[in-house]
A and B are shown apart, each in its own frame.
Chain A
Amino acid sequence: MERKESGFLREHGRNLGMLFTLSCALGALAIFSPKYVTFDNLVVVALQMAFIGIACLGATYLIISGNIDLSIGSIFALTAVVAAMLAKSMPPLVAMLLAVLLGGLLGLVNGWLVWRVKLSPIIITLGTMAVLRGIVLLLTGGYSIRSVPKEFSVFAQTRLVGIPMPVIVLILLALSLHFLFTRTTIGRHVFAIGGNREACHAVGIPVRRLVLGAFLSNGLIVGLAGVLTAGRFGSASPAFGVSLELDVITAVILGGVAFNGGRGNILGVLLAVTLLGVISSGIVSLGINPHCADIIKGVALIIAVVLDQLSQEARERFQKNLAKSDR
């Protein structure tokens, strides 16, 4: 007997919840701060979100595989600084490409360390986070890298039909990852590894390669975010990306990705990034003390996680009882 799945709400409830909250927030802003809900302003908001959004995509991939990288803030800063420094002595495009590759390399180093040392990735990447931040400060002497050639900023500052390039990059990347997650073997295996690593070993899935791949992708994507940020400002500060990892983890978990891996979706993460972005900028535009935004974000995260936990437990109980009474 086949029962049709009635799980639309279950699978998408959280996303619908975020969509609803987002609509409410935008509706309230439209009433109390009409200037906020204009195309020009929304584009600025989107641009601000794009960089953290891109970083979130990499982290999503990694967290779903059951890992985490706390050093992304430092990788972000290092790639931005290196790109800006290199751009002074070589074609900017080459400099940007090299910096992104550097990000990938650093991600891979993290992955390799996590794999070899078999310690919690939290501890390993806490270490690399400090090391890389130290390197950034050494390289820059604590000062921003300025007077970078103008061409360096061309890509990040271009707009296509009014949409800034970083936003377009975010959307394209999100679409590709969504395809990867839902339609391909790689995506399926990454979810499976996050869900039950032993089982994946047992059926011969190349776990090591896929986990290293997740770290690599995360590094490349964070590097891209760093380079785009440097491009946007035409300079790179050694303070770039400080506590980026916390903002990213907040958004990713709020977006419905399981911290232990195995579960999550790109749409949820995008919605969470948008929601958090609108909260930060909306509060400023309403003239409320910006520190309130942090409180709201924190409360939102906790509410989301608690709701999630409760609904999961209820669902599991319900389903198990159903299965028993079916016999």
Chain B
Amino acid sequence: MTPLIELRNIYKFFGGLCATNDVSLTIGKGEVIGLVGDNAAGKSTLMKIIAGVHKPTSGEYLIDGEKFVAHSPRSARNAGIEMVFQIQDMALVPELDVADNLFLGKELYRKTLGLNLNLVLDRRAMQERSRVLLHELGINIPAVTEKVKYLSGGQQQSVSIARTVFFDARLVILDEPTSSISIKETRKVLDLILQLKAKGISSIIVSHRMDDIFTTADRILVLRRGRKIEDVRKEHTSMDDIIKKIINAEKESMSQETLNQPTA
């Protein structure tokens, strides 16, 4: 089966700095990837390459086995790749209600004088579909007519993730999805990621919290100085191993690495 996403020998240089160094990876349909690494390991560069924010310096990017050139976040989105940002720089509009936010940019319309003018909103249909979707995903929100600014951090995060479903996402990239939300709510957000998986939607989770990674991920990738140094199924590793890979490995091969590559 062709993987949903395949990266082959991706390099990304920022000036003389090699942020992504010969990274190859595959993401299957419905697969959840945990992406870990210390600060400046190249996680966000890799994420941004997949999300179309950065163009790789060299290497191949394939979606469904076909070569894909992400010119912009827009073209990646059209290919079904959605990025969910941290809630601090939230992608929601606080003054609009939940349903409006879910459908932002993809509103449903009513016919105007029997014509499809795409002008008059079909609010009832949007609210109804929002209710169904949120229920399906097990998201607990007081009302879809509640303004987003009145929701808790976890609820807001859930709404931004749920929105990717409306945008027909095939791969959802989550950058620290559980930072700055309460521990109780963290569980809900992680459940949501598993819900997406059940719908056949793949995700990449970047997190510093090993618990998050081990709860959700099928496979774990460890990055260090732009290189992929581990790519392992969750069953074949442990938290300790991964943490060692992130930290200890650095000491072992420090001297050799620094000779080969400028530091990130």
- C-alpha spacing A209/B48, complex, angstroms: 27
Interface membership of B16, Cβ < 8 A: no
The reply to whether A327 and B185 form a contact with Cβ atoms under 8 Å apart is yes
Bound together, the chains give a CA A320 to CA B147 distance in angstroms of 12
Contact with A along B108-120 (1 / 0, CB 8 A): 0100000000111
Which one of A99-107, A187-195, A276-284, A302-310 is at the B interface?
A187-195
Shortest beta-carbon distance from B113 to chain A in Å? 14
Chain A residue at smallest Cβ distance from B185: A327
Given contacts A196-B94, A327-B184, contact A319 B150 (CB under 8 A): yes
A204–B154 CA distance with the chains assembled, in angstroms:
25
A195 with B150: CB separation less than 8 A: no
Q: Chain A's nearest CB lies how many Å from the CB of B225? A: 30
Known: A191-B95, A191-B96. A203 touches B105 (CB 8 A): yes
**What sequence of 0s and 1s flags, for each residue 225-262 of chain B, a beta carbon within 8 Å of any chain A beta carbon?**
00000000000000000000000000000000000000
Q: Which A residues are CB-close (under 8 A) to B155? A: 323
Is B90 a contact partner of A196 (Cβ separation < 8 A)? yes
- Given A203-B105, A320-B152, A263-B120 contact (CB < 8 Å): no
**Residues of chain B from 109 to 154 with CB closer than 8 A to chain A in the complex:** 109, 118-121, 123, 131, 140, 142-143, 145-146, 149-152, 154
Residues 88-104 of B, flagged 1 when their CB comes within 8 A of A and 0 if not, give: 01111111100010001
Asked if B107 is at the interface (CB within 8 A of a chain A CB), the reply is yes
With A184-B120, A327-B185 as known contacts, state yes or no: A192 contacts B104, CB within 8 Å: yes
Convert A281-320 into 0s and 1s, putting 1 for each residue whose CB lies closer than 8 angstroms to a CB of B.
Answer: 0000000000000000000000000000000000110011
Which of under 10, 10 to 19, 20 to 34, or 35 or more describes the interface residues of B?
35 or more
Flag if A262 contacts B121 (CB, 8 Å): no
Contact A199 to B145, CB < 8 A, known contacts A320-B152, A323-B155: no
CB neighbours of A322 from chain B (8 A): 142
Complex Cα–Cα for A2 and B140 (A): 8
Alpha-carbon gap, A317 to B44, bound state (A): 34
Q: Which residues from chain A contact B2 at a C-beta distance below 8 Å?
A: none
Q: Check A263–B95 contact: CB distance below 8 A.
A: yes
Q: Which residues of A contact B200 (CB under 8 A)?
A: none
Residue contact A192 to B152, C-beta cutoff 8 Å: no
Q: How far, in Å, is A327 (CB) from chain B's closest CB?
A: 4
A10 to chain B, nearest CB (A): 9
The closest CB in chain B to the CB of A64 belongs to B95
B182, CB-defined interface residue at 8 Å: yes
> Cβ of B150 and Cβ of A315 under 8 Å apart?
yes
Interface pair B96/A195, CB less than 8 Å apart: yes
**Can you offer 8 A-B residue contacts whose CB atoms are under 8 A?**
A196-B91, A196-B94, A199-B90, A199-B93, A204-B74, A319-B146, A324-B184, A327-B188
* B residues neighboring A (CB under 8 Å): 73-74, 77, 89-96, 100, 104-107, 109, 118-121, 123, 131, 140, 142-143, 145-146, 149-152, 154-155, 167, 182, 184-185, 188
The 8 A-B pairs of least Cβ separation, nearest first, read A203-B105, A323-B152, A319-B150, A195-B93, A195-B95, A262-B95, A196-B93, A327-B184
